[in-house]
Amino acid sequence: MRLSLVILFLVSQSVCFAQTNALSVLDSVVTRAKQVSMYSSQVNWNDLEKEVSAKANGAATIQELAPAFQALLNGLNDKHGKVINAKNYAM
How would residue 87 be classed by pLDDT, with cut points 50, 70 and 90? Answer: confident
Indicate whether this model's pTM tops 0.75: no
pLDDT digits (tens, 9 = 90+) for 63-74: 899 999 999 999
- Count other Cβ atoms within 10 Å, centred on residue 60: 11
Phi, psi of 82 (to 5 degrees): -145, 155
pLDDT digits (tens, 9 = 90+) for 24-64: 999 999 999 999 888 889 999 999 999 999 999 999 888 89
Type of residue at 52: V
Contacts of 58 by beta carbon, 8 Å cutoff, 6+ apart:
64
CB 91 within 8 A of CB 83: yes
Residue positions counted in the chain: 91
Q: Collapse the DSSP code of 24 into the 3-class scheme (helix H, G, I; strand E, B; otherwise coil) and give the result.
A: helix
pLDDT of res. 54: 96
